[in-house]
Structure 1
Amino acid sequence: MSAAVAALSRLPLWQAPMAGGASCPELAAAVAGAGGLGFLAAGYKPVEAMRAEISGLRGRTGRPFGVNLFLPQPPPADPAAVADYALRLADESARYRTPLGDPDRGADDAYEAKVAALLADPVPLVSFTFGCPDAEVLAAFARVGTLTVATVTTVAEALAAHRAGADGLCVQGVEAGGHQGTHRDDPGTDGRGVGLLALLGEIRAAVPLPLVAAGGLMRGSQVAAVLAAGASAAQLGTAFLACPESGANALHKQALTDPAFEGTVLTRAFSGRPARGLVNRFIEDHGRFAPSAYPQVHYLTSGLRQAAARAGDPQGMALWAGQGHRLSRPLPAGRLVELLADELDAAGG
C-alpha cells in the first residue's frame, strides 16, 4: 500500500475533501496538475451530483484523485433536543427571513447509492469520514482496484479500520478545521481530541498501515514534520480554502485572515457534531446549547447559513477553519502546491 499511496501523486501533498462546495473539480484538478492529490467531497450531495463532479474532474485531468464519503449516522439520543434547539433558533429565522430546514431529511447521506456508483465506475481512491465501512464494502472496493482510507481520530478507531481491511488511515488531529471525523459522537469527549503529532506517534506504534496526516498543516515545514513522524503524506484543507479555484464563499475566504475573527473553536452550533470554525456571533450565541444530533442540526441550520451568506453576514455562517488559518495564502492552487513543495524541500522533507 505504501507504494500505491506514493503512486497516487508525485508529491506527498493531498488536498482535503471539504464538503459544502469548497472541494470542487476546479480545485482538485489544479492540485493534481501540480503534482498533489486532488479530492472531491461527496458529502451532502445527491449521487447524481457526485457523478457529475467526477465526470467534470476527469475532463480536467488524467491524474489520480480521491472521493470522500460520509458514513450513515445513528439517530440522536434525544430527538426532543433538536426541537428545543429549533425553538432557540426562531430569532435567527426572523433575522435572516428564512425558515429553518427539515432536520429529518435523512441521516444516511445516500451512502449505499454512492458506494454502488463508485463500484460501478471506480475511482483511484475513496476515503471515509464518521466511521469505517464493514469488511465487505472495503473488499468490494479492493476488487475494482480502488484504494480505501478511513479517517481516524484515536488509536481504537485506527485498530478497528485496520481489522476491517482499510488500505490506509487519515489521522486527523484536533487542530483540523471542519468536522472531527470521530467514528462515534460522544458529547462526553468534546474538546478532548489529541494533537496531530502525538496522535501520529500513537497510531504509528499500534497499526501497520500507511498514514496520511491531517490537522492544521499550512506550510511545507509542517508537512516535513509529519513525514518525519511517520506519515506517508499530508492532507491540507484550510490551506487550500483561499485559493481562487476553491468553491468556498468569498466571505469565508476573507475571514481566514481577518483580524476581526480572533481564533477557532470546536462547536456543535451549526451541525450537531463537533467541528472547528472561526468564532463568530452564531457560535457565541448558540454553541453551548446545540445538541448532539448530526446531521439533524446541519439540515436545521442550512437555510440560515445560506441566507447569512446571501446577506453578506459572516457572523451567521459556518466558517470552518483549522488552527493555522492565519497562515492562509490566496494563491492559485497549483502555485500553492509548488510553494509547499519548495518549503518541504527546504525543510529536508
Structure 2
Amino acid sequence: MVDGETSHLALGATIVNTGLFYTDNHSPRNMARIEILDGVVKLAAFETNCKVVKVPTHDQDLIDRMCHRFGLSSERAYEGILPTITYFKDANWAYFCYKNYDTDFHTLRDNGLTDLVALKRACRRFVSGLEKLHRSNQSHGDVTCYHLVTSNGDGFLGGSIGPSLLDTYTRGHGGASVLVTDPFKKDMVDLAKAIEDSIHPNILPLGYPNTELGMFIYFLKHHNRLNSITPHPYVLTSMEVRDFYVTVREDFRPIARGTLNNEFRSRKSARSFPNSRLGWHPVVRDSADQTLGAFGYANYHNDDMGLVTFIRDFWVHAQKDGQVSVLEHCDDIHRLLEETFPGYSGIVYEVALLGRHGRIIF
C-alpha cells in the first residue's frame, strides 16, 4: 500500500489508464496525480485520502478478478462501484489507485482499505446496504428514493433508485453508464445481485456522477424537505452540461441549512464562458457545520429552451443558440421555469433536479 503526502512509484510503468483525478470535492490540495511522459509514468503523487493497493503482476488471475470487481478493463479503467479507481501496472506490480471521499465514504475512510480483503469487504457492505434499503425504504409519492447506507450505519454512499429510472444513460464519465437498465428494475435485491455479479460492464450504479443525486436526496430527507415528486424515466445529471462553464468567487460560503430559492442570494461576480465544461460543486453543511455532502448541479432542461442550471449561488441559462446568461433574481427564475415547464409548481429549492424532458421530479 502507498499513502502519504508524496509517494513515488511505478517509474517506467505501462499505462492502462491514468491522468489527473481529485479527491474531496475537487480540492487541488487533496488529490492524486499521475504524470506521464511518452507513455510511461514519471511521477505518481498520492496525497490525503488517496490509497493504492498493489497486486503482484504475475498473479494475473487476481488482477483479472479485481478488474472485474471494480468495473475496470485491461484497455480502459473507469469509475466502478467504489470511489474513482484507476489502474496501471509495471513489471512487478499492478496498482489499483482510488480516492476516498470523507463526506460520503466514512467506512472506507475509517477502514483505510489497505488490502484486497478490505476491498472485497467494502463491496459486500455496498450490496448489504442495497438490501437493507430494500427492506426499509420509504416511499414519497410515486417514486421510491433509497438512501444508501453502509451495513453498520456509519456513512452513506450517494445514490437513488426509483421504479421509473429504467433507461441507461450512456454519456457518463469514462464511458460508464449512469443509470441502470431494465433487467435491474424489479427490486433492490435483484439490483444488488447485478452489482455483485457485474453483469453489465458499463453499469455505474449509484456512483459518480449519480453520487450528486444521492447526496441531494439525502439532504432533502435529512431535513424533511422531500416533496413534489413526479416520476420520470430519465434523470438529468451534471454530465449533461456540455456547453458552458461558470466561475465564482473564491470566498464562496457553504449554503445554509433551510435556505430556499425565495431567499435566493445572488453574486455579481459570475463570469460565463461558452463552450467549456461546468466544473465545481457546492457543499451543504448542517447547523453543526458537519458536511452532509458535496452534490452537483440542478439542471432544468428540455429540447426547446436549452438548459437552466444551479451552480453555487447562481442560476445559469444556456440557450440552444449558445448564449449563456446568469439569472440574478428569483422572479426571473420562476418566470423562466413557468414559461418553459408546464405544470411548474412554483416551489424551487436551491438545488433541484428535473427530468430530462422538463418534468420536475423533486
TM-score by length of 1: 0.27
| Structure with larger Rg | 2
TM-score by length of 2: 0.27
Where relative contact order (Cα < 8 A, 6+ residues apart) is larger, the structure is 1
Q: Which has the higher helix share?
A: 1
Q: Which has the higher strand share?
A: 2
